[in-house]
Amino acid sequence: MKLYASDEIRTKYLEFFQEKNHAVISSSSVIPDNDPTVLFTTAGMHPLIPYLLGEKHPSGTRLTNIQKCIRTGDIEEVGDETHCTFFEMMGNWSLGDYFKHESIAWSWEFITSSEWLGIPKSKIAVTVFEGDDDAPCDTESYDIWRRLGQNEEEIFFLPKADNWWGPAGQTGPCGPDTEIFIISEKERCGPSCSPACGCGRYVEFWNNVFLQYNKTAEGKFEPLTQKNVDTGMGLERVLVALNGGTVYDSDLFSPIFASIESLSGKTYEDNKKAYRVIADHTRTAVFILGDTYGITPSNVDQGYVLRRLIRRAVRFAMQLGIHEGGLAQIAEAIVDRYKLTYPELQTNRDMIIRELQTEEARFQKTLVQGLREFEKISDSLENGRLDGEAAFKLYDTFGFPIELTLELAEERSIVVDFEGYRERLQKHKQLSQAGAAQKFKGGLADHSTQTANLHSATHLLHAALRKVLGDEVAQKGSNITAERLRFDFSYHRKMTNEEIAATESIVNEAIAEGVEITFEEVTLDEARNTGAIGLFESKYGEKVKVYTIGMYSKEICGGPHAANTAHLGSFKIVKEESSSSGVRRIKAVLTQP
């Protein structure tokens, strides 16, 4: 049986949609730009939200790409056969162009045609939206699948929980989807077996979303004027569909596993979970550290997730006998595997290795502190029982893995209240999720006047910082809600009060002048030649939007903007602080007179 390689699938996918008149666009950063709803880019559609809402994309109405994505909601599940925190999502989009018929027909052609993937039709199952009080049953998608030749017994009608996307926030674009599954070798779990039962017979690998409704603040679902198509197909999942096995049984992971085996002297077959966790978490850490924004480990936001991934990888590396510095060597193998596809990893190789070494060393000290705390707690026990709260404190405060707590407790004949620990951990997760929901409410579709004004103010702030502090200032991330802006930038020290005042003055000067905000669509080379700043993520020849604010700012951007600086009001920096090593963070607000 032919085994497909990841490079071959990437090439085939982009070539197929180029033949369907789609423009190939670059992968965006894994750190969302001006998106308060998520910490990481979790799907190919995130960078395209402005265009799904109606803005004109420089490359047209048919787009395709392969987007770097990170999802960290199931970190504890990594180690099984299906979960990864980093993955590549192949996607194609219609911005008010084609709709359901073309989208489904092209998916079917790419999947089943011998010229492309050649998956047997008998191995395919699909689901469609069954309908509810908000929107009718998607019989249109059902009829299209049936006419194409999809086995009717493997077409399933499922509810909104399974076959509906969005909105990302409280309001915005949403609609039914149709999902495509590979039928595994597992037998049906019963007469009602379907892709919704989770028995493992059906493995999803492609999702076609039809954004045809807008959910209003009142909870109504109104038809959209511009109907869009957003599809996503995970590269790792496609390789499973084609080659069998798990998401880890591909050429994406084989060189990483080889590095782990060389360092540990232990085999993958005898240590699957540890291998998978180390490989997955280190790969994700490499892509976060090597990103254009270059996030580093910290105790907040993306930096906190990065630190957690690195430390979990270190814990499992220790189980295999891999000594301090091992993660950096594994990272070298990851950079070598991906550097041709994602050259930013090679560009940032030294920084990736340095940060991993630093965090490994820092975690070793933390573990020593955790061991001392464990000894202190265990010495004070009167009944030989460690309660769940204490076990959770060791995990949460000292990064002490529960597995290590259980191991040490067994050596001392101490019983750990594991259920109590799990309950405390679950409570912590619920509180974190509730906090995130509150923090990020508003949604990807929040392109209100307030956010547009703050977006424009961010450009002025960036330019003002470069004028006050020098050209070493570079954007390292931004986050905008309707109430405030947050801007991360590279700088080696805390700003003085005088520098903060000077920065505010430049921004307010531009606002008082009432400068028109204009944009033009140019190639990347043209943008560079005109002195535009920003993230140069696009490839040569791609068109980008460059926003100009008089003599104050010229920046590459795709977000919403005010028409004139006079609309912005008064600009005020409310906090300047450290975000992570070498990165400062400014929080600022606009107030209307």
pLDDT tens-digit map of 166-214: 886 677 789 999 999 999 888 899 988 999 988 889 989 999 999 999 8
- Known binder of ligand: residue 281? no
Query: For residue 223, what pLDDT is reported?
Result: 92
Residue 111 pLDDT class (50, 70, 90 cuts) = very high
31: closest CA among 580, 593, 591? 580
Say whether pLDDT at 438 is over 50: no
Centre a 10 Å sphere on the Cβ of residue 358 and count the other Cβ atoms it contains: 15
Question: Is 248 a member of any domain?
Answer: no
Query: For residue 102, what pLDDT is reported?
Result: 98
Q: Which two tokens stand for residue 244?
A: 């069998």
**Structural domain harbouring 533:** 449-591
The whole-angstrom separation of Cα 160 and Cα 173 is 15
Query: For residue 538, what pLDDT is reported?
Result: 67
What DSSP letter does each residue of 363-410 carry, written as one string? Answer: HHHHHHHHHHHHHHHHHH-SSSEE-HHHHHHHHHHH---HHHHHHHHH
Question: Is 79 a member of any domain?
Answer: yes
Please indicate, yes or no, whether residues 405 and 513 belong to a single structural domain of this protein: no
3-state secondary structure (DSSP) of residue 438: helix
Percent of residues, the chain, with pLDDT higher than 70: 94
Query: For residue 59, what pLDDT is reported?
Result: 92
Please indicate, yes or no, whether residues 76 and 209 belong to a single structural domain of this protein: yes
Please indicate, yes or no, whether residues 58 and 175 belong to a single structural domain of this protein: yes
Query: For residue 431, what pLDDT is reported?
Result: 66
CATH of the domain at 192: 3.30.930.10
Question: Is 83 a member of any domain?
Answer: yes
Question: Is 1 a member of any domain?
Answer: no
Among 243, 276, 307, the domain-final residue is 243
Of 233-242, 290-299, 476-485, 532-541, least confident by mean pLDDT is 532-541
105 vs 523, residue with greater confidence: 105
Please indicate, yes or no, whether residues 67 and 183 belong to a single structural domain of this protein: yes
Say whether pLDDT at 442 is over 50: no
Say whether pLDDT at 395 is over 90: no
What is the signed CA dihedral for 212, 215, 216, 217, rounded to 10 degrees? -160
Count: domains in the chain: 4
Say whether pLDDT at 321 is over 60: yes
Please indicate, yes or no, whether residues 502 and 431 belong to a single structural domain of this protein: no
3-state secondary structure (DSSP) of residue 136: coil
Question: Is 111 a member of any domain?
Answer: yes
H or E element: which one contains 217?
none
- Known binder of ligand: residue 46? no
What is the Cα 495 distance to its own chain's centre?
31
Tell the burial category of 195 from Cβ atoms under 10 Å away from its Cβ (0-12, 13-18, 19+).
buried
Question: Is 502 a member of any domain?
Answer: yes
Query: For residue 130, what pLDDT is reported?
Result: 96
Please indicate, yes or no, whether residues 358 and 238 belong to a single structural domain of this protein: no
- Known binder of ligand: residue 199? no
Beta strands 385-386 and 415-416: pairing type? parallel
173: closest CA among 127, 228, 98, 101? 228
Question: Is 410 a member of any domain?
Answer: yes
- Known binder of ligand: residue 557? yes
Please indicate, yes or no, whether residues 360 and 389 belong to a single structural domain of this protein: no
Residue 547 phi/psi, 5-degree rounding, is -95, 130
Please indicate, yes or no, whether residues 436 and 567 belong to a single structural domain of this protein: no
The whole-angstrom separation of Cα 319 and Cα 421 is 22
Query: For residue 432, what pLDDT is reported?
Result: 58
Say whether pLDDT at 306 is over 70: yes
Residue 441 pLDDT class (50, 70, 90 cuts) = very low
Query: For residue 159, what pLDDT is reported?
Result: 95
Of 133-137, 298-302, 325-329, least confident by mean pLDDT is 298-302
Please indicate, yes or no, whether residues 314 and 356 belong to a single structural domain of this protein: yes
Please indicate, yes or no, whether residues 436 and 461 belong to a single structural domain of this protein: no
Say whether pLDDT at 462 is over 50: yes
The whole-angstrom separation of Cα 43 and Cα 71 is 9
Residue 24 pLDDT class (50, 70, 90 cuts) = very high
The whole-angstrom separation of Cα 482 and Cα 267 is 52
Residue 425 pLDDT class (50, 70, 90 cuts) = confident
Query: For residue 34, what pLDDT is reported?
Result: 62
Query: For residue 124, what pLDDT is reported?
Result: 96
CB burial of 69-91 (b: ≥16 within 10 Å; e: otherwise) equals bbbbeebeebbeebbbbbbbbbb
Query: For residue 35, what pLDDT is reported?
Result: 64
Query: For residue 369, what pLDDT is reported?
Result: 85
User: Does residue 268 contact residue 276 with C-beta atoms inside 8 Å?
Assistant: no
Query: For residue 406, what pLDDT is reported?
Result: 87
Question: Is 344 a member of any domain?
Answer: yes
User: Does residue 447 contact residue 50 with C-beta atoms inside 8 Å?
Assistant: yes
Taking only the tens place, the pLDDT of each residue in 35-53 is 666 789 988 888 888 888 7
Please indicate, yes or no, whether residues 363 and 465 belong to a single structural domain of this protein: no
Among 391, 421, 445, the domain-final residue is 445
Task: Taking residues 534-557, report their average pLDDT.
Answer: 83
Please indicate, yes or no, whether residues 368 and 290 belong to a single structural domain of this protein: yes
Say whether pLDDT at 315 is over 90: no
Query: What mean pLDDT is reported for the chain?
Result: 89
Percent of residues, the chain, with pLDDT higher than 90: 59
Among 243, 262, 284, the domain-final residue is 243
Task: Taking residues 61-90, report their average pLDDT.
Answer: 90
Query: For residue 216, what pLDDT is reported?
Result: 87
Residue 439 pLDDT class (50, 70, 90 cuts) = very low
Task: Taking residues 104-120, report their average pLDDT.
Answer: 96
Q: Which two tokens stand for residue 245?
A: 């096995």
Angle at the Cα of 138 (from 135 to 141), degrees rounded to 5? 150
Going from the C-alpha of 579 to that of each of 305, 399, 459, the distances in angstroms are: 14, 21, 19
Say whether pLDDT at 436 is over 60: no
What is the Cα 297 distance to its own chain's centre?
17
E strands present in 402-556: 415-416, 475-480, 485-490, 517-523, 543-549, 553-556
